[in-house]
Amino acid sequence: QVQLVESGGGLVQAGGSLRLSCTASGRTFSRGTMGWFRQAPGKEREFVGAIEWFASTSYYADSVKGRCAISRGNAENTVYLQMNSLKPEDTAVYYCAAGDWLGSRRIDDYQYWGQGTQVTVSS
């Protein structure tokens, strides 16, 4: 059984930083992609960023580009989302996702999802 578990969410003031972690168990995604999505209250889930594991290529939504960085852990099952210069509009539940597609920003291309971790940015 594949499981993704996120950690690192919390409350932070605007301008602050957080690092989210995601650890997968049950399989690795060495030939696929691990990514982050978020969902704010009353809004649809949206793409934040992702990393193609083998090539270590990362890409981001325009809304977070320059403020976020995704990196891999040493093990083939951990990914991090470093978020800097956080804004109140970044407040959302952040979900880790993984799949076998490369280069995708589409929710449907990610087969596995974590339960989410809350990030709240106060103004």
Q: How many CB atoms lie within 10 A of CB 49?
A: 22
What is the pLDDT at residue 74? Answer: 78
pLDDT digits (tens, 9 = 90+) for 26-41: 988 888 999 999 999 9
d(CA 55, CA 103): 11
pLDDT digits (tens, 9 = 90+) for 46-95: 999 999 988 889 999 999 999 999 999 877 789 999 999 999 999 999 99
Question: What kind and span of H or E run contains 121?
Answer: strand 117-122
What is the pLDDT at residue 101? Answer: 87
pLDDT digits (tens, 9 = 90+) for 101-112: 888 999 999 999
CB 97, CB 37: distance < 8 Å: yes
